[in-house]
Copies of this chain bind each other. A is one copy, B any other.
Amino acid sequence: MATVTETASRLDLYRSLARQLRADSIRCSTAAGSGHPTSSLSAADLMAVLLAGHYHYDFAHPEGLANDHLIFSKGHASPLVYAMFRAAGAIDDEELMTFRKLGSRLEGHPTPVLPWVDVATGSLGQGLPIAMGVALAGKRLLRAPYHVWVLVGDSETAEGSVWEGLDLGGHESLENCTPIFDINRLGQRGPTELEWNTDAYRARIASFGWDTLVIDGHDLDEIDDAFGTARAARRPTAIVARTIKGKGVSFIEDKEGWHGKALDPEQARKALAEIGAAPPSRTFAVAKPPAWRPDPQKTPAKVQLKTYSEPLATRKAYGEALAALGAARADVVVLDAEVSNSTHAEDFKKTAPDRFFEMYIAEQKMISAAVGMQVVGFVPFASTFAAFLTRAYDFIRMAAISRADIRLSGSHAGVSIGEDGPSQMALEDLAMMRAVHGSTVLYPCDANQAAKLVVAMADLRGISYIRTTREKTPILYPADAEFPIGGSRVVRGGGADDRVTVIAGGITVHESVKAADALAKEGIKIRVIDAYSVKPIDARGIADALKITGGRLIVVEDHWVEGGIGDAVLAGLTEIGVSLTRYQHLAVRAMPGSGKPAELLEAAGIAARDIVEAAKALLG
């Protein structure tokens, strides 16, 4: 039990720190001329108590796996988190004043350009589910002592992803994660839906499996108790803090029209006088985490891939390669959105059940958890139907800003899935994934190739994506063939008398092979290139083929006409200065319905007979 004096001095410490966090939030945003001081002020007391009383973090060693984690899901409160880094002595005042300026690490919203930031936030509703991923890895994989704290805005609880994240935490009993809801009543353009109805927040959060502490977010003692309780709790425990936006500065407290607005210098002067803090700022001690190291990982073994000679779906090869990878490497983890018997991620589950994570039908949660797990060093693969990765596009986009290394697998690509119809057909996934910064986009056509690409993905940085096919496809490659990222493969032709180049991917490689064989019977030789690496595309290889075939090119793909292999090829070729003389792009142009895979390929005009026709047209 703390004595009265100890308590008083602790509260004094918190009060000093809160004052400094408020002052620094205002100072840096006023210097920037933009930013979100009022959103910072509402949470300043919460974060002061956290930093000085409950956060265990070695700022000199951010890579330490025992460190606590703090994620600002309300990323716009960046002045506050930077003020915390300043208070901890991680950055100096000069750097704090570079906030939002060109070249500064202190961007408008936090990103891992700063070593103490796990992930980029700023697209609301993402930090909470990502935090759950960090906590899940801590609890189920590392058994680490760290606690994950996540500051959540009230406005962002409108995002369904917040409830997906809370569901994960409740279901997995993540008592090592504490979401702190900053209920300051005001959103960007006015009152939030629930304003200060903390009963409603409590009921919602509790219904997703959480104990919920409702507190006054400006009562330092109450905050202190709540954080202590939450950290010690044996059940997932969330904090709902009633706060005042702009707290501490009378003329902006609980006022509309002050979201995302910096104080002008005169207003800032008044505000700082009210707050009563004067720079230069103090450095406050932050508790170090306990001495702890994770169990040493086993040395990775050589991956023992299956080899294939009989037709097999690439999605099945994906699953089997994952299983082999999981057996060889202890850092590989797999997440799936309740379709692991379709994506075949279940093959991994069978061999490494402790590293398989069922995310149910919640793709946003799946990507978030994957991003969270890679924060602490794991190598996540996440899979669902490729069409349903569209559900998580914002999370994939943000993962790139987070400099996250995650691997995605989308099965059931294109019209060739057959009877299930267009809702289940990915026809925009290549476009979507190509337009992710630094991404790698792969699209195997046979099982041996799929297996090799899966293994390669484990060591890729950034966002990598493999598109797999529902139907069984013939084996084109020997098991020892290699498929470097950025390469391509000639699967038919290759001689100096090839007259047309056909670029295909996945299912259409097989249609192109059929076309080549049919044309060969008529004495027409074509070169078929398997563009298994859609990004980067092998522009040089294609250009070499075009020299032989007189610039005649067909691209055939099971994808909408926009943004897929066709666009990738054209962009790649023009980038290296190669122009086309005659081009045909066979892609999906009309809305498909149901039917057999072969029927739908024909209906879309991307079947063998269409390629034959296109080749003749180019020659004729």
Enumerate chain A interface residues (CB-CB to B < 8 A): 32-35, 75, 100-104, 106-109, 111, 113, 120-125, 155-156, 158-164, 167, 171, 187-189, 192-193, 200, 203-204, 206-208, 338-342, 346, 359-365, 387-388, 390-391, 393-394, 397-398, 400-401, 418-424, 427-428, 431-432, 434-438, 535, 560-564, 566-568, 570-571, 574-575, 577, 579-583, 585, 591, 593-596, 599-600, 603
Contact = CB atoms under 8 A, between A and B. Distances in A.
A518 B102 CA distance: 26
A580 B158 CA distance: 48
A594 B100 contact: yes
Which among A158, A387, A535, A595 has the highest number of chain B CB atoms within 10 Å? A158
Which among A401, A422, A564 has the highest number of chain B CB atoms within 10 Å? A422
B432 A160 contact: no
B32 A419 contact: yes
A571 to B, nearest CB: 6
Contact of A362 (B158, B391, B435): B158
B581 A579 contact: yes
A401 B423 CA distance: 7
Given A123-B387, A574-B585, 19 more contacts: A100-B419, A100-B594, A108-B420, A111-B593, A123-B423, A124-B361, A160-B161, A160-B164, A187-B360, A188-B338, A189-B341, A204-B208, A390-B393, A401-B422, A431-B432, A431-B435, A567-B570, A571-B585, A574-B580
5 contacts: A102-B599, A109-B421, A158-B362, A159-B361, A200-B207
A394 B400 contact: no
B346 A108 contact: no
A19 B359 CA distance: 36
Number of copies: 2
A228 to B, nearest CB: 27
A109 B385 CA distance: 15
A594 B432 contact: no
Contacts of A390: 393-394, 397
A16 to B, nearest CB: 30
A338 B187 contact: yes
Contacts of A432: 393, 428, 431-432, 435
Contacts of A103: 593, 595
A51 B260 CA distance: 51
Contact of A158 (B104, B121, B360): B360
A250 B158 CA distance: 43
Nearest to A160: B160
A589 to B, nearest CB: 9
Contacts of A428: 393, 397, 432, 435-436
A564 B431 CA distance: 10
A159 B160 contact: yes
Contacts of A341: 188-189
Contacts of A342: 188-189
Contact of A579 (B167, B401, B579, B591): B579
Contacts of A560: 435, 437
A582 B585 CA distance: 22
A75 B206 CA distance: 30
B120 A423 contact: yes
A302 to B, nearest CB: 31
